[in-house]
Amino acid sequence: MLQQATSLDLAFQALADPVRRAMVERLSRGPATVSELARPLTMSLSAIGQHLRVLETSGLVRSEKVGRLRTCWIDPAGLLVTGRWIIARQASVERDLERLGEHLAAPTDPWRDP
């Protein structure tokens, strides 16, 4: 459980930054080189590298260097842990809302003491 909590913490910390979310968004369409990831962003390659290290440490992104090119891609396992946590919270909220809806839809008896 502690390992999962640590993974979630790292993933959410990584995704808290809009630059890293943009990188994940781009990588969700397929692998990209560091230069391709940097192209739409107005920051140095060094700063891009720091963001990528955070994403890799979180387990959301993997990369490989071949020659002078470093290619990055989404790590589905990292997204799976985060996605499962979000889906579990969503299911819990939906159950609560369903119970509330049932309670509000129940007929009320004006003669009954509250």
For the chain, the structural domain boundaries read 2-105
C-alpha separations of 20 from 7, 41, 64, 70, 114 in Å: 16, 11, 18, 17, 52
pLDDT for res 4:
56
Cβ pair 52, 37 in contact under 8 A: yes
Q: What is the pLDDT along the chain (114 residues), one digit of tens a residue?
A: 445 558 899 999 999 999 999 999 999 999 999 999 999 999 999 999 999 999 999 999 999 999 999 999 999 998 998 989 899 888 878 887 888 887 788 777 667 665
pTM to 2 decimals?
0.76
Torsion sign (Cα): 56, 61, 63, 68: negative
> Which among 65, 97, 94, 78 has a CA at the least distance from the CA of 4?
78
pLDDT for res 109:
66
Q: Rounded to the nearest 10 degrees, how much is the dihedral formed by the CA atoms of 16, 22, 25, 29?
A: -150
Q: Which CATH architecture has domain 2-105?
A: Orthogonal Bundle (1.10)
